[in-house]
Amino acid sequence: MSSRNWLVRIQDILDSTCTIRDCTAGLSFETFCENKVIVKAVLYDYMIIGEASKHIPEDRKKRYPEIPWLLMGDMRNVVTHEYFQVRLKLIWQGINNDIPLRTPQQTGN
């Protein structure tokens, strides 16, 4: 088991959400799908988010029930184990609906 602190894992999640936002800012769904480099970068960051989320202590997850912890892990599993049938439309919806526009650090909370 990794000895990385769960707070470092939270930072990994935040960094990956920022990378996803930065890579997809201003793109249409069609442009996103056509750019395989961006698609692969986004999928990689989804894997990081999901893996990191699995290492957050349960008591911390319970303090923030509005965060889709289970969905994060599920997305990681799909991207990792079902890579051959990832539906980019679902990934795109996740980018636009589940990836926060601003992190709590950016809003001062």
Catalytic residue among 60, 76, 87, 102: 76
User: Which are the contacts of 26, defined by CB distance < 8 A and separation ≥ 6?
Assistant: none
55 catalytic? Reply is no
Distances (CA, A) of 51 to 7, 13, 19, 36, 60: 14, 9, 16, 22, 16
Cα 42 from Cα 107, distance rounded (Å) = 24
Catalytic residue among 9, 63, 81, 102: 81
Tokens of 34: 């056509």
H helix runs in 1-109, sequence order: 6-24, 29-34, 36-53, 58-63, 69-81, 88-97, 104-107
4 catalytic? Reply is no
Query: Which residues does the annotation mark as catalytic?
Result: 76, 81
